[in-house]
Amino acid sequence: MDLVLKLSYMLIFPGFLFLVLYAMACEWVDRKLYARFQNRVGPPWFQPLADFIKLLAKEEIVPEAADKIMFRALPVVALAAVLTSFLYIPVWDITAFHSFPADLVVVFYLLTIPTLAFFLAGWHSTSLFAALGSLRTLTQLFAYEVPLLIVLMGPALLAGTWTISEITAFFVANPGLLAVNLLGFCVALVAIQGKLERVPFDIAEAETEIVGGPFTEFSGRLLAITRLVVDIEMVVLAALISAVFLGGSFGLGPVWGFLLFLLKTLLIVGLLALFKSVVARLRLEQMMKFCWKYLAPVALFQLFINILVKAFLV
pLDDT at 314: 60
Residue 49, classified by CB atoms within 10 Å of its CB into exposed (0-12), middle (13-18) or buried (19+), is middle
DSSP-assigned letters across all residues of 28-93: HHHHHHHHHHTT-----TTHHHHHHHHHHHS-----TTS-HHHHHHHHHHHHHHHHHHHTTS-SSS
Q: What is the dihedral of CA 126, 132, 133, 138, to 10 degrees?
A: 100
The whole-angstrom separation of Cα 44 and Cα 67 is 38
CA distances 234 to 132, 193, 237, 257, Å, are 24, 9, 5, 20
What pLDDT does 253 receive? 78
DSSP string, 105-167: HHHHHHTTHHHHHHHHHHHHTT-HHHHHHHHHHHHHHHHHHHHHHHHHHHHHHHHT-S-HHHH
Q: Which is nearest to 193 in space by CA: 153, 234, 162?
A: 234
Q: Give the pLDDT confidence score for residue 232 in this predicted structure.
A: 95
Angle at 218 between CA 23 and CA 62, to 5 degrees: 140
Whole-angstrom CA distances from 306 to 98, 185, 290 are: 28, 13, 23
Q: Which residues of the chain fall below pLDDT 70?
A: 1, 314
Instruction: Tell me phi and psi for residue 195, to 5 degrees.
Output: -65, -35
Tell me 214's DSSP state.
Answer: G
Sign of the CA dihedral 91, 96, 98, 102?
positive
Per-residue confidence (pLDDT) for residue 214, from 0 to 100? 86
Confidence at residue 217, expressed as pLDDT on a 0 to 100 scale: 87
What's the whole-model pTM score?
A: 0.94
Res 229: pLDDT: 94
The pLDDT of residue 227: 92
Whole-number pLDDT of residue 75: 92
